[in-house]
Amino acid sequence: MKQIAKTELDTLFAAITAEQKLYIPADDSAGQAQFTLWRPGLALSGRLNTARSAKDLFFPQVENLVGFRMHAGAIERVETREEPEDFVIFGVRACDCRSFSILDRVFLSEPVDTFYQMRRAHATVVTLACTRPEETCFCAAMGVDAADPAGDVTCWLEDGTLLWRANTEKGEALTEKLPMLRPCPADAADAQQARTRALMQKLPLAKLDLSAFGAGKTRALFDRPEWASLSEACLGCGTCTFVCPTCQCYDVEEFRDGSSVRRFRCWDSCMYSDFTKMSAGQPRPTQRERFRQRFLHKLVYFPENNDGVFGCVGCGRCLAKCPIHMNIVKVIKTLGVTHA
């Protein structure tokens, strides 16, 4: 375990930046925290979490795949990929860090998505333990320990001190380049962890009952009549999917400029009416089916295909951002009531 005074964070960030890019949560002009490229003077946000999730850095909203040049019936393929530089993402919360392992299961399974893989390979993830969880947090119900997040390095902010623990080789390599980090006792974070864990247990959503969900529950949940009332007011705006750290659906589109074509991918949403629309038909004709897809995917389909792991990390973003105040917790509570 290492430590540095909070007043020296600028020195730490400057030293990291000397070697590679550094992103930290900082408040934007609207007062929302966002992962922002660090520059001298940029202050660490005091907010619990970023408005947009950390997935943006590995799975950007828009990403070029390949280019084509068209000449009289012939096609020339043009490489558009840029190898990213090494970067550090500092201040990732436990929930978002867990989301990376969920995205890994999608993008790093065969056939590997090399765009995502490349960004993951270039990144060092430095997480930051939570001390003041909010009422919308239910990471604990999803098996995430906010007091001891994973990542290449784990940090704790405690009484004006930043505690720093390297967890992986990448984390060790970064630590070695930062001489301003001083050794400290291995149990320095223990008291804070105990406090945070006790606090987590008192959160309104800590005891969220997930026993009605998980692998094998499709049949029990698919035709439940409650889907109609749950989805009734859904606008199909896709806000929940865009802010969600684990939502990973994408579209592949093209931009044509004369004889050059750029093929890119961009985030898409299962909440959109044209997501599954075909000329021959539409398997999800109303918002009810699209809404059901989003939640059953996270709560049943994903765990069934991924060793029981839920496709939600309990970050609470969709609770805070949905314009009609619908969210996964309401779905869990409503459908968790089993009818005999």
- 237 lies in the binding site for ligand SF4 (CB under 6 A): yes
Residues 6+ apart with CB under 8 A from 126: 88, 89, 90, 91, 92, 151, 152, 153, 154, 155, 171, 174
- 214 lies in the binding site for ligand SF4 (CB under 6 A): no
Stretch that binds other proteins, among 20-28, 105-113, 187-195, 202-210 (CB under 8 A): 105-113
Query: Is 93:49 a contact under the CB 8 Å cutoff?
Result: yes
Six-digit token string for 332: 């869990």
Partner interacting with residue 68 (select from ligand SF4, other proteins, none; CB below 5-8 Å by kind): other proteins
CA 3, distance to chain mean position in Å, is 27
Query: Is 297:280 a contact under the CB 8 Å cutoff?
Result: no
- 181 lies in the binding site for other proteins (CB under 8 A): no
* Spatial distance between the Cα atoms of 272 and 318, rounded to a whole number of angstroms: 16
Q: Least Å distance between CB 166 and other proteins? A: 28
Site for ligand SF4 in 261-290 (CB under 6 A): 271
Counts of helices then strands in the chain (DSSP H, E) = 12, 12
Six-digit token string for 75: 């096609």
- 180 lies in the binding site for other proteins (CB under 8 A): no
Measure the CA dihedral 312/316/321/323, to 10°. Answer: 80
Query: Is 33:49 a contact under the CB 8 Å cutoff?
Result: yes
Q: Is 304 exposed, middle or buried (0-12, 13-18, 19+ CB in 10 A)?
A: middle
Site for ligand SF4 in 298-317 (CB under 6 A): 298, 312-317
- 236 lies in the binding site for ligand SF4 (CB under 6 A): yes
Query: Is 231:292 a contact under the CB 8 Å cutoff?
Result: yes
Q: By C-beta, is 190 or 209 nearer to ligand SF4?
A: 209
Q: Least Å distance between CB 195 and other proteins? A: 39
Question: Going residue by residue from 113 to 132, which x/- string records binding to other proteins, judged by CB under 8 A?
Answer: xxx--x--------------
- 93 lies in the binding site for ligand SF4 (CB under 6 A): no
Binder among 37, 43, 194, 235 for ligand SF4 (CB under 6 A): 235
Name residue 118's beta-bridge partners. none
Q: Least Å distance between CB 20 and other proteins? A: 19
Q: Least Å distance between CB 78 and other proteins? A: 10
- 92 lies in the binding site for ligand SF4 (CB under 6 A): no
- 324 lies in the binding site for ligand SF4 (CB under 6 A): yes
Binder among 127, 248, 287, 327 for other proteins (CB under 8 A): 248
- 300 lies in the binding site for other proteins (CB under 8 A): yes
Q: By C-beta, is 197 or 236 nearer to other proteins?
A: 236
CA atoms within 13 A on the CB side of 325: 0
Partner interacting with residue 281 (select from ligand SF4, other proteins, none; CB below 5-8 Å by kind): other proteins
- 270 lies in the binding site for other proteins (CB under 8 A): yes
- 137 lies in the binding site for ligand SF4 (CB under 6 A): no
* Spatial distance between the Cα atoms of 203 and 237, rounded to a whole number of angstroms: 29
Q: Least Å distance between CB 246 and ligand SF4? A: 5
The Cα diameter of the chain in Å comes to: 70
- 68 lies in the binding site for other proteins (CB under 8 A): yes
Partner interacting with residue 82 (select from ligand SF4, other proteins, none; CB below 5-8 Å by kind): none
